[in-house]
Amino acid sequence: MQPESGPPVGRAGDPDNTAGEIPDRGSVHEFTHSGEPQRLDAILCERVPGHSRAFFQRLIDEGCVTVTPPARREIKASMRLPPGSRIRLVIPPPRKLDLSPRDIPLEILYEDAYFAVIDKPAGLAVHPSPHQDTETLVQALLYRLKDLSSIGGEERPGIVHRLDKETSGVLVIAKNDRTHNAISSQFKSRQVHKTYLAVVRGEPGEEEGRISLPLGKSYSNPKRQAIRMDGTGREAVTDYRVLERYRGYSLLEIWPHTGRTHQIRVHLAHLGTPVACDKLYGREKTIYLSTLRERPRTADEPQIMARQALHATAITFRHPHSGETVSFTAKLHADMRELLGALSTYRAYR
Residues marked active site are found at 164
Q: Report CA torsion sign: 121, 131, 236, 193.
A: negative
Closest CA to 120 of 178, 147, 159, 157: 159
- Work out the end-to-end distance of the chain between its first and last CA atoms, rounded to an integer number of angstroms: 50
Q: Which helix (H) or strand (E) holds 269?
A: helix 263-270
Angle at CA of residue 219, ends 218 and 225, nearest 5°: 5
In 10-130 the beta strands, taken as DSSP E runs, fall at 27-32, 38-39, 65-68, 80-81, 86-91, 107-111, 115-120
3-state secondary structure (DSSP) of residue 18? coil
Q: Which residues contact 115 (CB under 8 A, 6 or more apart)?
A: 172, 173, 174, 175, 179, 183, 320
User: Cβ distance 170 to 311 under 8 Å?
Assistant: no
